Structure 1
Amino acid sequence: MAPAKLLLVDDDETIRLTLSIILRKHGFHVTVAATVTEALKYISSQVFDVLLSDLHMPGAGDGLTVVSAMRHANPKAVTILLSSFPHMDAAAQAILLQTDEILVKPMDVTMLVDAIKLRLATGPSRTRVVETVATILERAAESTIKDWYLLVEKEETLMAVPMSFQLRSGHLTRVFQDLVLRLRSTTVLGSKELPSAAATEHGTVRRRQGYTAAMMVEESRILQVSIFNTLQKNLASIDFSVVLIGVMTIADEIDSQLGQAMKSYLTESIVDALPA
């Protein structure tokens, strides 16, 4: 049987040298990478059976970026992360959804080799479907809107203006459509806001329904909370390599839509104040 091909990723030269020697003595075919960029080049050009990567890498990206790339390029590969922190709590749970195992440094070399061989024998811990932030929001739009409404119902200031579920949440379907389009576009973060007819209409409608400006801001804040809760619930399938830019884009787009809605809200207010 051909030796298992292992990619070792660590910025520490001593660890790279020591581990590569030990792993080769135990029958592994070892390729080493000192940076995330170098690791990504190997992943895109070779097939590996095992990824063994430090979680905390300097520069652009980290161990999660490497794991995500390996999952995309070679989903059958076993992925193991090394971390210097023994207690990672919630963060560890999120990471475990993408990698097969986390081992704490420093650790006994024999235990490391045994852990790798065990994972190779059993295979990756799960077949995992990786989704973009846009895909998750598109799929979970309806449930997110329902979660948003439950949070809105707890806000007395918002509920002071009585209306049906449809009237209060009807605009959100188009909000999610705009969000998904923005997430899938090539628009650079921080670019001038894209015009949203839905946002403009929403501001006018909310003014006529009796909302105050503060109520509109609170409603928008709750929407962001609901969306981030949805992403939290979908950590098992989220693509960590793009999640940060996705979250930033969501916040930017929702703020942009709130700004456009407020403009039309104020315009409607001025019209209401004009003499009949």
Structure 2
Amino acid sequence: MTKILIVDDQKSVLLTLEALLTQHGYKVTAATNAVDAMRALAAETYDLVITDAIMPGGSDGYSLTRTIRRQPLLAKIPVILLTGKRERSDVEKGIDSGANDYIVKPIDPELLIAKIRNILTSKPTDSVQFASAVVQFKGEWEIKTEVMSISELGLTVISAIPLPVGKILRLNSPIFEEIGIPKIPLRIDSCEEISGIETAYRIQTHFVGVTEKELSPIRLWIRSKKSF
């Protein structure tokens, strides 16, 4: 039986996770802090660690993950970080600490189980993958734009002109109407020229100020496309 260690300072979260994971056939051990988590890892072998990124007491999920990665006997254990922060910089911080994947709160049970199954069958070198769907929607800010994909974090678009990294824009696109949410501001994360295509740029963006009320229909819409 697959054994999972869950770490969170909120007992309500631990109870919710334990009930969900047990229901899907996993054996679960809970810890409320990083110190107890390391004691559990020293006493027993686990197949996966799921830890909250932000915990009080000076030892958060980032430092716990880094500690795991420094231990030769533990270094290859997959780690999933849980957090309410949705900035791409926070995601990058988690991945840089050694996490294999990342779940944005509130936790989507179906998405979490899909990620667990994926991570337990993936190669160690596989990179983090967010729930996303390939799309083809028109878009417009200063010029016509094609929306190529959408994830929990933001949109990937193709544009005929480059846009400055850090700029915040509102994209006019029917994709928001189809999902059933208002137009969410987007911050430009990267802008790369596409070789072989004249005057075309691939632009990665992330949602700014997305609410839990808006995140839920985005996830449901992506799930309807059956792409994790």
Q: TM-score, normalised by structure 2?
A: 0.51
Is 1:114 aligned to residue 114 of structure 2? yes
CA contact (8 A) 1:76 1:123 kept: no
Larger Rg: 1
Counterpart position of 2:36: 38
Counterpart position of 1:124: 124
* SS class of match (1:75): coil
Quote the Cα distance in structure 1 between the aligned partners of 2:123 and 2:18.
22
- Note the 1:40-55 alignment, pairs <5 A: 40-55=38-53
Counterpart position of 1:5: 3
Partner AA of 1:26 in structure 2? H
CA drift at 1:126: 6.0
Percent identity of equivalent pairs: 28
**Which structure ranks higher in relative contact order (CA pairs < 8 Å, sequence separation ≥ 6)?**
1
The number of residues matched between the two structures is: 124
Partner AA of 2:14 in structure 1? R
Greater strand proportion = 2
CA drift at 1:20: 0.4
* SS class of match (2:63): helix
CA drift at 1:107: 2.4
Query: Cα RMSD between the aligned structures?
Result: 1.8
Counterpart position of 1:104: 104
Quote the Cα distance in structure 1 between the aligned partners of 2:45 and 2:28.
12
CA contact (8 A) 1:80 1:103 kept: yes
CA contact (8 A) 1:36 1:63 kept: yes
Unmatched 5+ stretches in structure 1:
128-276
Counterpart position of 1:214: none
CA contact (8 A) 2:81 2:94 kept: no
Distance 1:100 1:125, change over 3 A: farther
* SS class of match (1:102): strand
Q: TM-score, normalised by structure 1?
A: 0.42
CA contact (8 A) 2:83 2:105 kept: yes
- Note the 1:1-276 alignment, pairs <5 A: 3-71=1-69, 72=71, 73-89=73-89, 91-97=90-96, 98-125=98-125
CA drift at 1:23: 0.1
CA contact (8 A) 1:49 1:76 kept: no
Partner AA of 1:16 in structure 2? L
Partner AA of 2:5 in structure 1? L
Greater helix proportion = 1
CA drift at 1:87: 1.0
CA contact (8 A) 2:3 2:46 kept: yes
CA contact (8 A) 1:6 1:51 kept: yes
CA contact (8 A) 1:8 1:16 kept: yes
Quote the Cα distance in structure 1 between the aligned partners of 2:123 and 2:14.
24
CA drift at 1:8: 0.1
